[in-house]
């Protein structure tokens, strides 16, 4: 059992180390990161708007064009991940590439690709849903909660 003096000395050393590490770690370029994330995220959304406009030009309403637009954007993100291009976009743009639905597709496809060698069921299938599971659960629960609130509000 360590003496109280030894515990205090360890705590002091830990605090000293954390101060030293904080002084050495370079500060991220926040303004640059925010601008790049905004621009790249905006470009991804512009592509999405172009896709929805293309579906609407074929006679679909905006509500009808939403689902195929989402599927198309997921396909684009998945293909770019398979070609190892989305990784580079994500490194450059950060949240600008991670937040849109293409980033979600990238996350799932990348997990599937990483664990393919473990098999299709226990590797790809299981690891994809480790990533997608929480998103699906919270998305569904949020939808149910909003619907319940709306139902209660309307009486």
Q: What contacts 10, CB < 8 A, 6 or more positions away?
A: 2
User: Per residue in 136-149, pLDDT tens?
Assistant: 888 899 999 999 99
- Residue-range domain boundaries for the chain: 28-154
Q: Is 0.75 topped by the overall pTM?
A: no
- What is the reported pLDDT for 2? 62
Spatial distance between the Cα atoms of 10 and 65, rounded to a whole number of angstroms: 61
- What is the reported pLDDT for 23? 83
58 or 126, which is more confident: 58
User: Per residue in 29-83, pLDDT tens?
Assistant: 999 999 999 999 999 999 999 999 999 999 999 999 999 999 999 999 999 999 9
Q: Which two tokens stand for residue 39?
A: 């621009």
- What is the reported pLDDT for 92? 94
pLDDT band at 1 (very low <50, low <70, confident <90, very high): low
HSE of 139 in the Cβ direction (CA atoms, 13 Å)? 6
């Amino acid at each position: 059992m360590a003496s109280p003096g030894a515990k205090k000395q360890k705590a002091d050393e830990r605090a000293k180390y954390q101060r030293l590490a904080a002084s050495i770690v370079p500060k991220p370029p926040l303004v640059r990161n925010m601008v790049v994330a905004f621009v790249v995220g905006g470009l991804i959304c512009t592509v999405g708007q172009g896709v929805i406009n293309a579906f609407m030009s074929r006679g679909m309403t905006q509500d009808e064009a939403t689902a195929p637009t989402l599927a198309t954007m997921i396909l684009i993100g998945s293909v770019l991940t398979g070609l190892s291009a989305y990784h580079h976009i994500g490194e450059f743009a950060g949240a600008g590439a991670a937040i849109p639905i293409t980033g979600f597709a990238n996350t799932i496809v990348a997990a599937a690709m990483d664990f393919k060698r473990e098999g299709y069921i226990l590797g790809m299938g299981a690891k994809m849903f480790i990533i997608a599971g929480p998103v699906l659960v919270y998305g569904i629960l949020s939808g149910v909660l909003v619907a319940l609130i709306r139902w209660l509000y309307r009486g």
